[in-house]
A and B are shown apart, each in its own frame.
Chain A
Amino acid sequence: MRPVTLLRVTKLGWANYWRNRGLSISASLILMLTLVIVLFFFIVNTILGATSAKIRDKFDMNIRFEDQVAEEQILELQKLLATRPETREVHYVGKDEARERFQNIPGVSDRTKQLITPESNPLRRSLEVKAGSPTDLEKIDQLLHTAPWSEIVYSNSYAVNKSTIQKLSRFERGVTTAGIILSIIFITISMIVVMNTIRLAIFARREEIEIMRLVGANNIFIRIPFIIEAILYGVVAAALSLGAVWLIIKNFGGLLKPYLGEINVDLLELFKNQLPIMIGIVLILGCGLAVFASLLSIQRYLKH
């Protein structure tokens, strides 16, 4: 195809988008709805990601030691834990640090605080371990129940927090799975609607395609203007969907705050931070979906 012809078909695509603006706007609006759903799931997933990180931070274990255990032994265990894949972080809390932390606990009376001095400090030395998941914590717990570690450990918090951690973990898995299933269902439904809208738009123009074929246009010449139009559907839908989501967050985002509780996410800030990624998602998905639907629909009118 000569550059002049390529320029012609590109212009034709632009012109057709404008000439068939009723159909073009309908297709863009339907596509926009799909993209809005996708954007909401993206935002929910981002919030869920932040929540998961916070939940993961709670997957920690406090291992306390008998007073008579030598510090070298504790440091040896720290070293061993640090090399294990399930450990994200391990921190040794000596007697002094334990006392310092105790002094800073709000709500503890000064009289009680004065009872603990460097000379008389009943607080136990401990290792604070952060793991990637509850399963990892369980593995570390199993290790601590083997010799020689079982003899030096006074207690570990896993036994106490086990059921809470497992509940949190099940909740996270449940929310993620539900999110994925709902995303797939909604996106599939929207995709079917988008495909049918574009199919209808092309059906309405089947005579135009027939005329193009009859005057000797080859399939590439016929397809390119429709591809350009589909890209325009995608670009317009992408812009509209971002605008719609921004408006919704701006006007109704505050209503969600009480429900987000500890997560404390500023939705507008999140929108701004994630904007480049969201632009990429809606452009690729919007244009890709429209072009795919367009090519699929046009194919049946191109058979010789």
Chain B
Amino acid sequence: MSQATPLIVIENVSKEYRGKGGAKIMAIDNLSLRIDKGEFVSLVGPSGAGKSTLMRLLIVEERPTKGRIIIAGRDLRTLRSRDIPFYRRKVGVVFQDFKLLPNKTVTENIAFALEVCDATPAEVRDKVPKILELVGLTNRAANEPSELSGGEMQRVAIARALIHTPKLLIADEPTGNLDPSNTWEIIELLLKINQTGTIVLLATHNQAVVDRLQRRVVALQNGKLVSDQKTAGYTEIKPKEKGD
């Protein structure tokens, strides 16, 4: 892919839900955004701003009511239901609540993401230890999630998201359940991943994280894009001007 072509193109996307009594709820309202290869983007905004909805649209958990999303040249509208699992194997996702399989060990949780896509046992044996080393969990390989701290669980989730070496890593409030020390460990890990060329799209409420990152910040409010700054802290977010 050339440098000029963005990896993610979000064009006039709206997502509408029907509330009680049929009332319209605009979760995303005519949003347009372009994200280039290698970018680290923080997606900020109050609860209900539309951050999680945008994440769900990117992993095709939801479909836009209007507009289109193009990832690596592929218009997500053209994805058929049976293609979605294959698409998801190319996009890493991390959630606030980790979403680990509780009865599997750290190794098994990571290997599972490989096993679902027909990886051979040799591939599993080769890739899992490497990714465990990357996230610093080699010594916890045989533990189950219940035996890990929040930070360690999130690192397992990141390792699982990275196992397919995705071009895009979506992190939806990954530090929401963590203490400050674990929060920084996770952010540093995300930065390390970003250095390898993977786009990191981080949805967060955490002002301190955004301030420290000093990377691109996209702010949403009521489903609308209110600010998009190339490098900023939380307090420096300015309303988007017309024509930006």
Contacts and interface: CB of A to CB of B under 8 A. Distances in A.
B241 to A, nearest CB: 37
Interface residues of A, number: 20
Given A19-B103, A216-B88, A8 B81 contact: no
Contacts of B81: 304
Given A1-B118, A2-B118, A214 B93 contact: yes
Contact of A215 (B87, B113, B120): B113
Interface in B75-115: 81-82, 84-89, 93, 99-101, 103, 112-113, 115
A196 to B, nearest CB: 24
A217 B103 contact: no
Contact of B116 (A19, A207, A212): A212
B82 A214 contact: no
Nearest to A208: B101
Interface residues on B, range: 20 to 34
B100 to A, nearest CB: 7
B33 interface: no
B101 A216 contact: no
A214 B160 CA distance: 11
Given A5-B115, A8-B115, A304-B81, A214 B120 contact: no
B112 A216 contact: no
B16 to A, nearest CB: 19
B117 interface: yes
Contacts of A219: 82, 85
B119 to A, nearest CB: 9
A216 B59 CA distance: 10
Contacts of A1: 118
Interface string A1-18: 110110010000000000
Interface in A189-233: 207-208, 210-219, 221
A211 B117 contact: no
Contacts of A210: 99
B86 to A, nearest CB: 7
Given A19-B103, A208-B101, A215 B160 contact: yes
Contacts of B120: 4
Contact of A218 (B59, B60, B116, B121): B116
Nearest to B161: A215
A5 B160 contact: no
Contacts of B116: 212, 215-218, 221
Nearest to A1: B118
A206 to B, nearest CB: 12
Given A1-B118, A210-B99, 13 more contacts: A4-B121, A214-B59, A214-B88, A215-B88, A215-B89, A215-B116, A216-B85, A216-B86, A216-B88, A216-B116, A217-B85, A218-B85, A221-B85
27 contacts: A1-B118, A2-B118, A4-B118, A8-B115, A19-B103, A208-B101, A211-B99, A211-B100, A211-B101, A212-B112, A213-B88, A214-B93, A215-B89, A215-B113, A215-B116, A216-B86, A216-B87, A216-B113, A216-B116, A217-B85, A218-B82, A218-B85, A218-B86, A219-B85, A221-B116, A304-B60, A304-B84
Interface of A: 1-2, 4-5, 8, 19, 207-208, 210-219, 221, 304
Give 10 nearest A-B pairs by CB, closest first.
Answer: A216-B89, A217-B116, A216-B88, A218-B85, A215-B113, A304-B81, A19-B103, A216-B85, A304-B84, A2-B118
